[in-house]
Structures are given as structure tokens and as C-alpha cells.
Amino acid sequence: MKLLRLTALLILTTLLAACATTPPPAAIPAEIPKPKVALVLSGGAARGFAHVGVIRALEQEKIPIDLIVGTSVGSLIGAIYASDRNSFELEWTAFQLEKDSLFDYGYFTAITGMGLAEGAKLEEFVKTKIPTANIENLKIPFAAVATDLNLGKRVVLNKGSVVKAVHASSAIPGVFEPVQHQGRLLVDGGVTDNIPIDVARELGADIVIAVDISENVENHNITNLVDVMLQAVNIMFNENVLSHRNNADVLITPAVGKVAMLDFTQKKQCMQAGIEATQRSMPEIKAKLADWRPKGGS
């Protein structure tokens, strides 16, 4: 009996000693909050190749992109990147893109329809380059901006078909037929919001990096109906941008003002302009990220 009591006493003493010498577990540090960074890509037809350069430069500098919002060609480039998060694949896809990949002009469509091109080629291009069917399943949250032609209101497409969203957002009035989608008759988002910074804010963005490719609407090479429509749209889009562009935290403006709306021969130059403009803005981008504090934080 004494032996049992002695053994129990030794065990108790050992446990007490262990408790006395073992430090309390270290507190797990709270995770440092990070800002939600949105990339907003404006419309501008062939000038949109500059968006590819912007994305490549951001990726190289490891700038996070948590949300992409695009209008017109910005929705096309943005959706392709959101599906794969790979700027090199995006660049390769962009180099394959030609005017004939998007525009299916037809005499019958022009006479009987509401535009010169039906948009089937554009849809087929998107379908072949983006295997993900629905926006909700893209690797990066994404929204395309279109315009309700009946109501004259901006429409944010962040659910449902990727193909239809990009088509609707890119349906330049008069050039493409309007798109029936989600119970609305939709045309190019640039009609109401060609640089949808406010949409990014509404979707929860803390820091907005916006890319404006609407610089310089001057064009002295207008020779046909399509040229007239595109120039009129370009002027409208540019005026639209002027009232919104300063709402961005960082505004990137690639030097693509001399590139015509349908000049697909300047891809490399546009991409390089996007890279260079982003590199110039990189100190400002990094400063915004470093200085960001959550609301209510010190």
C-alpha cells in the first residue's frame, strides 16, 4: 500500500514539474488583412491589345488581381485571363486574334437585322478560348458591363454564360446586332460605362487599377459606313470615360492614341505600350497597396 502511495506521489510530482516548466502555447497571430484589388479594362476595339501588356506587367510584379471588370474589348481580354490566370497564354491567344475572328459581316444581316455583323464568330472565338462555361466558375471573379438598349441603363453581367456576357458587352451599336440575354436586349457597355470603375467598387474592390485606352479620338481616315459608326462610337466612349476615369486609385494610360479602332496590325506595339505604361505606374501601385488600411483600422 505504501509502495502504491509512493508511486502515485512520484507521478503527481512529475506532472506538476512538467506543468511548471512548459510555457503556455504561443498566441496565433491574426492574419494581416489584404485589400481586394480590381483591374478595370476599358473598351477601345483593337487598342485592347494594350490590356494584354498591362496584365503581363502586373503578373510579373506579382500584383494581386482579385477581380476583373471589363467593357467591350476589356471584357474579352479580361474573361480570357480570368479563365486561366496566365499572361503568356493570354498573349498567345491575342496574337491569334484577327478582325475576321470577330466580325461576320453579312449583306442579309445588314438589310434585315439591327447590325452589320451577327456576332456568331465572336461567340465561337470566346467559346474556343475559354473552356469555362459560366462566369461563376472562372478562376478570377469577373464582370462584363453591357447596356440595356431598351432602358438605356448599365447592366453588370457577373453570372451565367461567359460567351453571352462578352458578346453583349462587345456589341458595338450598328456594327453588331444587339444581344438577347437574361431577358434584356443588350449592346456594348461603353454606351453607358466605358471604364466601369464604379462597378468594381460596387463589387467590393478596395483598390481599383483602371486602364484607359480611349486616348485621342482624332481620325482622318473615315471612308465608309463602318468607319463612320466606329468613329461616332469612339467619340461617345471617350466622353463617357472622361467623367469616370479619375475615380480610380491608379489610372494606367497606354500610349495607343494613334491606333485605329479596327487596326489589328499594331498588336505588338499596343502590348508594349501596355507594359510600359504599367511599369511607369508600378511605384504608385505598390504605394497604394502598402498604404492601404481596412476601414476602421489605424
Question: Can you name the residues that pair with 68 across neighbouring β-strands?
Answer: 39, 142
- Rounded to whole angstroms, how far apart are CA atoms 166 and 157? 9
Active-site pick, 84, 188, 193, 206: 188
Catalytic site residue 188?
yes
Cell digits for 98? 484577327
**In the chain, what's the furthest Cα-to-Cα distance?**
112
- Please indicate whether residue 72 is annotated as part of the active site: yes
Rounded CA-CA distance 160/137 in Å is 9
The active-site residue, picked from 72, 170, 214, 281, is 72
Contacts of 285 (CB under 8 A, 6+ apart): 58, 61, 63, 209, 250
Residue 251 vs residues 1, 28, 192: alpha-carbon distances, Å: 84, 38, 19
The amino acid occupying position 17 is A
Contact 265, 243 (CB under 8 A): no
Sign, Cα dihedral of 41, 43, 45, 47: negative
The CA distances from residue 120 to 113, 117, 163, 263, in Å, are 14, 8, 10, 21
Which residues are designated catalytic? 72, 188
